[in-house]
Each structure stands twice: as C-alpha cells, then as structure tokens.
Chain A
Amino acid sequence: MKKGKSISLLTIIGLLIAAFLVLTFLTFPVGVKNFNVLGAIEKGHDVDGGYAFTYTLAKGNVEEVEDVNDVLETIEKRVTALGYTAYSIKAIKNATLTDYDIRLELGTKTNKYGNRDYDIVSEDAKAAMQYGELKFFGGTEANPEAEIFENIDNPVKSVTYGGYSSSSGYYLVNIEFASDAWSELSTAMGEGQYYLKLTIGDEVLSPFTGNQTVSSGNFVGKTITLQSGSEESARQQVLRMSYGGLAVEYERVSTQSSIEVGSPLGSGLFDVYTVCGIAIAAIIVFAVVALFVTNKGYGLVALYLLLAYGIIYLAMLLAVPGIKLSLGAFIGIILATVLTVDGLVVIMKRIKEEFENGKMLRPAVKTAFARSLKPVLSTVAITVIICALLLIFVKSIAFDFAVVLAIGIIISAFSTLLLNKMFVGLFLGASQNKPCFLNLTREESAEV
C-alpha cells in the first residue's frame, strides 16, 4: 500500500478510535434518557453496592434456629437461583438480641428504561426470604380450599426459566409435575375446568390464585408453561415453586426496611470501578511503552490495536445480555488484556526471527502471522475450555470472571491475528516498508 494511502487510513482509524474513546466517557441524550456507555453496563453488588434488607425472626416463628450457617446457606442458594453472582448475606446480632438477624445485600438491577429499580430488588429479597411450605389446592369452584397432593412428597418435578418468547412478548416459566402428581391432577381436571391454587405460607402465588381455571389443554405432557411480564418476576416464580419457603420465618425490620449501600470493597474517588479501570489502562500504557522501546514502530501498532481491542470489548460487554461487572469480571478483563499483550509480543518476536533468518520484510510478516495462528488458537481453546467448565459448575463471581474472560479471549484472538495484521500492514506502508521502523536488523542489507 502506498505511503499516502496508509497514512490517510491510519489517521481516519485513529480519529475513529479517539471519537469512540471520548464517547465512552461522555453522557449524552438518547431520546428522553441520558446515556453513558460505562454506566449502561450493569454492575455487581461488590462494585456498585445495592440495597440492604434486614430481617428478624418473626414473632410467630415456630422453628428454632439451631445453626445460623444452615439458614445462610439456604438463602444463598435461593439468591443465586435468582441470578445474583455478587451479594452479601450476613447474620448480625447486637448486644440486645438473642438470635441473629439476617442482612441481605443485593446489587441494584435496572428496569427496561435503564433506571435503577428498587422494586425488583425488593421483590427478589422477599422471594429469597419467603417462609412456608408450598401447598396445592384444587376444586371445581373458584378459590378452592381442598388441599391436593397431600400424600406426594415432591409433586413438582422441575421448574425452569424458559427465557423470553418473542412471539408472545412474555417471559416463560415451565412447570413439570411428577408422574404421581400429574396422574392425580389429570384425573381431577377430567374433561372440564379445574381451579388450581398455590400458596407458600400466607401468600398466594400468581397466576395460580384459584380464580382461573386450568385444563389438560394447557399442558404439554406433564408440563404447563406460565407467562410472566418480566424476567425478574419469572425468576422469582421459578424460585418459589422450586424451593418453596424457608423453614424459619423472618420478617423485614420496618425501621430499617431497606437502605441503599455502597460497595463493600470501598467507594469514593477510588472505587473498584475506577481502580480496575486505571489498572487496565496501566497495562496498556506499559505494553505500548515497552514495545516502543524494544521495537520502535510496533509500539504504535500496539497502541492502535489495544485501543481498538478495548472498544470492541466494551461493545461486546454492552451487547451481550446478562453481563455484570463484578470484581470477578474485572479480573477477567485484566487477564484477557494481558493475554492480548502476550499475543502481540509473540507475533513481534516471530517477525524478528523470520527477518533475521533472511526473509524480506513483508514475507517475514506474513510467515510470522501464519506461524502465530496455532499458539494463539491454543490459548483461546484452553481458556474457553476452562471458562466453559466454570460457567457450568459455578454460580459465584467466578461465573462473571468466566463469561467476561471467554468473551475477552475471543476478541483478543481476533485482534491479535486480524486487526494486528492490518495495522502492521498500514504502518509498514506508511513507513515505506523500512525494517528499521520495527527495529529489525540483520547482518546483510535489509532493504526491501
């Protein structure tokens, strides 16, 4: 490519990168909302704080709490079933109390307008702390009081979140009844209408309020699908019907019903978000400076590449639904960035070796990228394997780490192999293919 064309293209790309970077930090109006890229990515409780709900043992509680750790463990399972990866569950007690209170801190969620929604988190906390046994009532009249499935230990085989249905516009919950429960239910439904009611403790579970009928036509096999207006309420339904209620009854402390709390890892000027952002920027600066010192012009290539990589990464974090920036996610971003730098170093080393072995500059670059394909793909394969297994088995912030790292390493491979090649080609074109641009020397003449 001619020098002039290369310089023009590099200037355009540079300006585009600069523009995207500026837009990343700006807040600008989109429709009726103010939009900020960094603010649009949902953050976990450990990064951005959330709401704290305090629960105390209800006055009417019958079951004694023998080991508060059992209670905490049960609540944790319920909280992770709601999709939270970063949260805080503590049993707290002051000098006046004999039993522990439970303080549940959940990260803020955003509603479909992108605003923090207290109600969603409050309902999640309520679902997690729900007390009571799951009971089924059925009959031929509305609001049935006759309990069914009394002799069946687990009438519900599974309750799963069915995702969003674009055809109906609702979020789906699939309830599969166990064989014996289905047998009893289908006999009771017969050919007519049947009123079904579900309760946990004193609460009636929508939509099975006892005022609507079900028939065998509503079932596919032993499974009935419910429609819910939001993902959060769908997940709450799944939780309630899967786990039932807690064995111990807690009630929300009215004087401290909820308080908004900051990150448990510290807030203020240098909060988690800022510190990790600076750490990632420091890695990029180090890589650019070090590569510039060792390989001159390759430092500029690294600058363009790492900034482009960062923009693409940010775009993917925004585009992929369900991504939450917790501390685990930031560790994933740091590791993915370091592996990108590693890829850059590997390729530059190979360009140098190929050139020193006698190849001309452009063929040396081409061969170096061809030779680097396998090690880069190995890095991606091994990382994706480990991340995939973590995603399957783990529910804590290691889950966020795995998701973000997997995305990062794929973008890293794309950047290292394709974008890097493009930028090297453009910069060599701009420097008129002079090997000294990449600090390449060999014993014989190196002129192209």
Chain B
Amino acid sequence: MKFDIIKKWKLWVIATLVIIVAGLAIFGFMGVNKTLDNSNGCEIQVSVDDNLANAKLVAKDVAEAYFEENLIANKIGSVQEITEYGYIYNFDKVEWKDGASVEDLISKIETAINNDKVNVTVEVREFVVLANSDLVNIIIAVAIATVVAFIYLLIAEKKRAAFTAVISAIIALVLNVALVAIARVPVAINTLFTVVAFLLAFVLSAGMLNRFKENQKLVTAEKREDYEIANLGAKLSVMRFAFVFFALLIASVVIFVLGSVSMQAIALQLLVASVSAVFSAFVYTPIVWNAIK
C-alpha cells in the first residue's frame, strides 16, 4: 500500500473538526475536570501526638480502610504526610455512610494502637483553593511566542514553512484542549501541558518542513511535485515521530503506574499532549504545506 497521507486530507480534517467541536462544546458546558489540587473540597487530617508503637502507620492503615468502607466521595486526592505525626486526605466531599462518624473512626484507631499514651485526632475541614491565576499570563506568553517563532521561521525557512508550522502547532493546542475535555482527563497543572503540546508540535513540524525543503532542492531525473515531496517527507519522518511518541508514552505509563492519584492525572495529561502534538505535526504539516502554494 502506497504511503499517501495527503490523499485522505478531507478525512483527517473532518475527524479533527469533529473532535475539536465536541471537545470545545463539552468544555463550554461542563468546564474542565479539575483535580482536587485545583478545586475546592474537603480534607480529613488524621494525626497522633506521639509515634509510640508505630502509631502513625497504624492510624494511617485503619483510617484508609475506614474511608474505603464508610466514606461517600466522588473524587479522591493524594495523601499528604505530616512529618509529625499524621496524614491529610483530600476528598471532593465528606459524607459518611449510616453508622460511620469521626468519633467511630477515632475509636477504631485508638483500639488498633492500643496505647493510652497516644492521643488520636481526626479533623474534617472544607477548603477553598485559588482558581488558576496564571492562565492569562500563559496565554499571553504563548501568543507572543507564536509570533516570534513565526518570524524566526519566516527568516529561516520562508513564508510557506512558517505558516505551516504555526497552523500545525495551533491545531495541536486546540486538539489538546478538546481531547482533555472529551476524555475528562483531570487537569492538574494549570495549562502547562497545552504549552507542551504546542511546543512539541511546533518543533516536530519545523523538522519535517526542513526535510521538505531539502527534498525540493534535490536534483533528480524526475522532478517531484510538492504533493510527492510532502508525502515523501512525511514517510521519511515516520521513525522519528514514532520514537518521540513512544518515548512519551513510556514516560506516561511509568508515571501512571508508579505515581500517586495526582501523578496519574499528570501522566494522562502528558499522554494527551503527546498524542495531540504528534498527530497534528505528522498529519497537518504535509497537508497544510501542500495546500499553501
């Protein structure tokens, strides 16, 4: 089967538009799915005043088993250790099943510790965190960076390449937002991964465009059309894109498997950013470059 990515450009464009429209609609109606680091919620602090008889770890084990059995919560955050001597657990809400209560939990922990000298405290608090206050600054930074990078490519690679790279990067950025909204990926670190998708797509696209330029300069018996140059350039870049994608996939899998709940959200965001960047750069660089004469 002949490699021809540009032939099915309509399919790619329609698929991308469907994802973007659906994603932005979900984003508009439901907003982002924030992790507890980024949204208001409740916390339960379980602490002991002394670590006799390994009281801290005993309290942790009993509390976690109790939460799993008796707590009604939709979202569970990571566990933060208090060095002396306890843990803070984050939830979206704290609602106990029938018969369960803070006093019951304290009693169970004290029974498990079995040491009169250790006092157990369990405190339930609601918390309010700031909304993402750096979002506007990141948008301004990315907007200006786009202009400056465009000017750089205009000088280094000419107009066609500059427009292609910018368009590919912007598609990656929008696609990342849409995919995060559709997949309801918990958003952890502000808009950092959208910047990652944008940057990666820009860099990968610029690399592929350099290859198109080289192929154009080649003097061969058979003069190639732009269509063939773009397809050939994309074909020759497959290995490069595969390496980048699989490297980021492996990093995401490692972080997801080994990390805490919050780190799993980071891993998912990294994976979505990789998919957005690699797809946009690989598919849209030859399509847009071929379309611009």
A contact set with B: CB distance below 8 Å: 49, 52, 68-69, 72-73, 76, 88-95, 100, 103, 259-268, 270, 272, 274-276, 278-280, 282-283, 286-287, 290, 294, 327-328, 331, 334-335, 337-339, 341-342, 345-346, 349, 353, 371, 374-375, 378-379, 381-383, 385-386, 388-390, 392-398, 401
Contact = CB atoms under 8 A, between A and B. Distances in A.
16 contacts: A94-B124, A103-B127, A261-B83, A266-B262, A275-B259, A283-B247, A290-B243, A335-B196, A342-B244, A349-B236, A349-B240, A379-B206, A385-B148, A386-B198, A398-B189, A398-B190
Given A398-B134, A398-B138, A263 B202 contact: no
Contacts of A279: 250-251, 254-255
Interface of B: 37, 43, 78-84, 88, 123-131, 133-134, 137-138, 140-142, 144-145, 148-149, 152-153, 156-157, 189-190, 192-193, 195-196, 198-200, 202-204, 206-207, 210-211, 214, 236, 239-240, 243-244, 246-248, 250-251, 254-255, 258-263, 266, 270
B83 A371 contact: no
B83 A100 contact: no
A72 B239 contact: no
Contacts of A280: 251
Interchain residue pairs A-B with the least CB separation, the first 9: A266-B260, A262-B81, A260-B83, A393-B141, A91-B128, A389-B145, A389-B141, A279-B251, A279-B254
Interface of A is mostly: helix
A331 B255 CA distance: 11
Given A68-B128, A266-B259, A375 B83 contact: no
A346 B189 contact: no
A289 to B, nearest CB: 11
B129 A266 contact: no
B189 A94 contact: no
A375 B204 CA distance: 10
A205 to B, nearest CB: 28
A68 B130 CA distance: 9
Contact of A386 (B129, B149, B190): B149
A94 B247 contact: no
B134 A260 contact: no
Given A287-B247, A375-B207, A328 B199 contact: no
A95 B255 contact: no
A123 B83 CA distance: 21
Given A260-B84, A272-B259, A374-B156, 14 more contacts: A49-B80, A93-B126, A103-B127, A265-B263, A279-B250, A279-B255, A327-B189, A338-B251, A378-B156, A382-B202, A385-B148, A386-B141, A389-B144, A397-B189
Contacts of B200: 335
A92 B125 contact: yes
Contact of A275 (B125, B148, B255): B255
A90 B131 CA distance: 11
Contact of B149 (A88, A276, A385): A385
Contacts of B153: 378, 382
A371 B236 CA distance: 15
Given A94-B124, A290-B243, A282 B254 contact: yes
Contacts of A286: 246-247, 250
A265 B260 contact: yes
Contact of A93 (B125, B131, B137, B152): B125
A217 to B, nearest CB: 41
Given A262-B80, A270-B258, A390-B141, A401 B192 contact: yes
A76 B133 CA distance: 9
A168 to B, nearest CB: 35
Given A92-B126, A275-B258, A264 B37 contact: yes
B128 A72 contact: yes
B260 A374 contact: no
Contacts of A334: 248, 251, 270
A266 B43 contact: no
A191 to B, nearest CB: 47
B48 to A, nearest CB: 13
Nearest to B218: A357
Contact of B142 (A92, A375, A389): A389
A394 B258 CA distance: 30
Q: Which of A286, A388, A389, A395 gathers most chain B CB within 10 Å?
A: A389
Contact of B239 (A94, A268, A349, A398): A349
Given A68-B128, A283-B247, A386 B80 contact: no
Given A266-B263, A394-B141, A259 B83 contact: yes
A334 B260 CA distance: 18
B134 A395 contact: yes
Contacts of A69: 128, 130-131
A375 B202 CA distance: 12
B36 to A, nearest CB: 9
Nearest to B78: A266
Contacts of A397: 189-190, 192
Given A72-B128, A266-B78, A394 B259 contact: no
Counting chain B CB atoms within 10 Å of each CB, the highest count among A260, A264, A341 belongs to A264
B240 A378 contact: no
Given A94-B125, A100-B128, A385-B149, A345 B43 contact: no
Nearest to A265: B262
A382 B149 contact: yes
A275 B254 contact: yes
A371 B130 CA distance: 49
A95 B124 contact: yes
Contacts of B156: 374, 378, 381
B133 A263 contact: no
Contact of B266 (A327, A335, A396, A401): A327
A374 B149 CA distance: 15
